[in-house]
Amino acid sequence: MTRVRNFDTFDAMRVLVTGGAGYIGSHVVRALLEAGHAVVVIDDLSTGHRVLAERNGVALYEGDLGDRATLDRALPGCDAVVHVAGKALVPESVRDPGPYFRVNAEAGRALLEGMLAHGVRRVVFSSTCAVYGVPERLPIAEDAPTRPLSPYGASKLAFEHVLDAYGRAFGVLPLALRYFNVAGAHAKGDLGEWHDPETHLLPNVLRAAHGGDPLDLFGGDYPTRDGTAERDYIHVEDLARAHVVAVERLDDLGPLDRRHAGLALNLGRGRGATVLEVVRAVEDVTGRPVPRRERPRRPGDPAALVADPARAREVLGFQTRHDLRAMVESALRFMETSGRQHPGRSASA
Ligand SMILES: NC(=O)c1ccc[n+]([C@@H]2O[C@H](COP(=O)([O-])OP(=O)(O)OC[C@H]3O[C@@H](n4cnc5c(N)ncnc54)[C@H](O)[C@@H]3O)[C@@H](O)[C@H]2O)c1
Per DSSP, the residues of 1-58 read: -----BTTB----EEEEETTTSHHHHHHHHHHHHTT-EEEEEE--SSS-HHHHHTTT-
31 C-alpha to center of ligand 1: Å?
Answer: 17
pLDDT exceeds 80 at position 206: yes
User: Would the CB of 232 count as within 6 Å of ligand 1?
Assistant: no
User: Would the CB of 84 count as within 6 Å of ligand 1?
Assistant: yes
35 C-alpha to center of ligand 1: Å?
Answer: 22
**Residue 299 — very low, low, confident or very high, per pLDDT cuts 50/70/90?**
confident
What average pLDDT score do residues 89-116 get?
Answer: 97
47 C-alpha to center of ligand 1: Å?
Answer: 7
Q: Which of 46, 55, 131 to mutate to test the pocket of ligand 1 (most atoms within 8 A of CB)?
A: 46
User: Taking a C-beta distance cutoff of 8 angstroms, is the pair 22, 52 a contact?
Assistant: yes
User: Would the CB of 192 count as within 6 Å of ligand 1?
Assistant: no
Q: 157-194, pLDDT tens digit by residue?
A: 999 999 999 998 999 999 999 999 999 999 999 999 98
What are the structural domains of the chain?
Answer: 14-187+233-268 (3.40.50.720)
Provide the mean pLDDT of the chain.
92
* Rg of the chain (C-alpha set): 19
22 C-alpha to center of ligand 1: Å?
Answer: 6
133 C-alpha to center of ligand 1: Å?
Answer: 20
Residues acting as catalytic residues = 152
What average pLDDT score do residues 47-58 get?
Answer: 97
Strand pairing class (273-274; 230-231): antiparallel
Instruction: Give me the sign of the Cα torsion angle 41, 27, 277, 215.
Output: negative
Closest CA to 285 of 322, 325, 233, 321: 325
User: Would the CB of 23 count as within 6 Å of ligand 1?
Assistant: yes
User: Taking a C-beta distance cutoff of 8 angstroms, is the pair 130, 155 a contact?
Assistant: no
Q: Percent of the chain at pLDDT above 90? A: 86
Taking CA atoms only, the protein residue closest to ligand 1 atom 7 is 128
What pLDDT shows up at residue 339? 66
Between residues 202 and 343, which one has the greater pLDDT? Answer: 202
User: Would the CB of 182 count as within 6 Å of ligand 1?
Assistant: yes
What pLDDT shows up at residue 253? 79
What pLDDT shows up at residue 300? 82
What average pLDDT score do residues 202-223 get?
Answer: 96
**Residue 11 — very low, low, confident or very high, per pLDDT cuts 50/70/90?**
confident
pLDDT exceeds 50 at position 346: no
Report the atom number in ligand 1 closest to the C-alpha of 21: 39
What pLDDT shows up at residue 256? 57
Q: pTM of the predicted model, to two decimals?
A: 0.94
